[in-house]
């Protein structure tokens, strides 16, 4: 576990003061309680639950209970909502507050086709009136009890009209009283193709002045986080794909910002993180068999950071039963197999994952 150094302050979300600038993004299909807990134990000062539909928050059942179950150790935690109707959006936001979420985050950024087809996520960047009505609904529903934040892309496409709608929604949300904004500087149409335009983040930060701005996009190592802050002036960053299989990135960011060398995790630290993830996921999902597919995908991503990532993946994908998981983790991340490397992290150690998620 990594302690947060006191000399690396983070942004403020209303009355919530973050002790560090790099937080775990809402990652669809990934950022469940187990992932958030492991991230916190390795230095993440704040984490968001995976994005959830407002309808699912309001629909009674096992999934609702899982969404609304916020244990004592899972703080501060943000609940990210996605939907298309202001009236249900506000009601769902209120349920998140009652459940104990510390922040409600509004998703206007997801570029997945099935989301856009239902007029959710990034689609709302085409409709400022509806987007701002949804912000109004959330602010009214939470009644100042928790901060409200917004996640956006830089527009639906590259047209001047799309950019104008971005600024209309951004300025309107800030004027209404949101506490912070996260901006991913790709368009919705762009999805995850091509580079993330960090100069656009600098424009947003210069436009908003002291208002808290988080940057997102192409943050695959602690060095990327430092570079984004230096190049854009953002107050914080949300790490998405770059922290799957790599919770160590949060401590590495703190070390670099504090002027210390960042270190790679040892094999023992990697094994411990995966075993901890498994330990947390089993009760969360109601047994080893149900937890296995959720943890398996994380463990395979840890393999990307192995000294021999191709070999590691070949071994880890053979995982079929709950008994396979701890055995393969111990075999693949055995100390002798991971020995002989310099501990100091280098920029070229970054891994660019192939997966995409609504978290980035």
60-78 pLDDT per residue, tens: 999 999 999 999 999 999 9
Q: According to the model, what pLDDT value does residue 359 have?
A: 66
Query: Helices 33-41 and 267-285: crossing angle, nearest 10°?
Result: 150
Q: According to the model, what pLDDT value does residue 5 have?
A: 45
Mean pLDDT of the chain: 93
Do you know the residue count of the chain?
Answer: 360
Give mean pLDDT, residues 278-287. 97
| Strand partners for 238 | 23
More confident residue, 7 or 132: 132
More confident residue, 196 or 8: 196
Query: Is-contact 332 326, C-beta < 8 A?
Result: no
- Helix, coil or strand: residue 196: coil
What number of other Cβ atoms are within 10 A of residue 245's Cβ? 25
**pLDDT-derived band at 355, boundaries 50, 70, 90:** low
Distances (CA, A) of 273 to 24, 241, 278: 16, 17, 9
115-151 pLDDT per residue, tens: 988 899 999 999 999 999 999 999 999 999 999 999 9
d(CA 138, CA 132): 10
Residue whose pair of structure tokens reads 């500087």 in the numeric block: 185
Of the candidates 169, 168, 166, 149, the residue with the CA atom closest to the CA atom of residue 157: 166
104-121 pLDDT per residue, tens: 999 998 888 889 888 999
Query: Is-contact 322 274, C-beta < 8 A?
Result: no
Q: According to the model, what pLDDT value does residue 160 have?
A: 96
- Helix, coil or strand: residue 143: coil
Task: Tell me: pLDDT of 47 over 60.
Answer: yes
Q: E strands along the chain, which residues?
A: 12-13, 16-17, 22-24, 47-48, 52-53, 77-82, 103-108, 148-153, 180-184, 213-215, 236-239
Residue whose pair of structure tokens reads 């529903």 in the numeric block: 141
Of the candidates 163, 143, 239, 273, the residue with the CA atom closest to the CA atom of residue 207: 163
CATH number of 12-257: 3.20.20.70
Task: Tell me: pLDDT of 296 over 90.
Answer: yes
């Amino acid at each position: 576990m990594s302690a947060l150094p006191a000399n690396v302050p983070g942004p403020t979300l209303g009355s919530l003061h973050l002790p560090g600038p790099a937080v775990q993004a809402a990652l669809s299909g990934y950022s469940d309680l187990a992932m958030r807990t492991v991230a916190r134990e390795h230095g993440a000062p704040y984490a968001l639950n995976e994005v959830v539909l407002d309808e699912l928050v309001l629909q009674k059942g096992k999934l609702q209970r899982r969404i609304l179950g916020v244990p004592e150790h899972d703080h501060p935690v943000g609940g990210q909502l996605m939907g298309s109707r202001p009236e249900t959006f506000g009601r769902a936001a209120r349920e998140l507050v009652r459940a104990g979420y510390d922040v409600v985050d509004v998703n206007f950024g997801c570029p997945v086709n099935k989301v856009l087809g239902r007029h959710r996520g990034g689609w709302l960047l085409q409709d400022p009136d509806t987007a701002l009505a949804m912000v109004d609904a959330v602010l009214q529903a939470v009644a100042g009890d928790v901060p409200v934040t917004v996640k956006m892309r830089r527009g639906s496409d590259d047209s001047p009209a799309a950019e104008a709608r971005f600024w209309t929604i951004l300025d309107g949300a800030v004027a209404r009283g949101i506490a912070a904004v996260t901006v991913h500087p790709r368009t919705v149409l762009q999805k995850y193709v091509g580079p993330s335009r960090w100069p656009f983040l600098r424009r947003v930060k210069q436009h908003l002045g002291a208002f808290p701005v988080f940057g997102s996009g192409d943050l695959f190592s602690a060095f990327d986080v430092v570079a984004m802050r230096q190049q854009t002036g953002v107050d914080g960053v949300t790490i998405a794909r770059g922290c799957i299989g790599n919770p160590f990135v949060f401590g590495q960011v703190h070390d670099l910002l504090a002027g210390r060398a960042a270190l790679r995790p040892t094999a023992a630290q990697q094994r411990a993180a995966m075993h901890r993830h498994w330990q947390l996921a089993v009760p969360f999902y109601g047994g080893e068999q149900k937890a296995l597919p959720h943890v398996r995908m994380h463990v395979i991503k840890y393999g990307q950071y192995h000294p021999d990532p191709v070999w590691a993946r070949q071994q880890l994908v053979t995982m079929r039963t709950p008994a396979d998981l701890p055995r393969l983790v111990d075999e693949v991340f055995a100390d002798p197999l991971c020995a002989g490397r310099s501990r100091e992290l280098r920029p070229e150690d970054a891994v660019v994952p192939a997966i995409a998620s609504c978290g980035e």
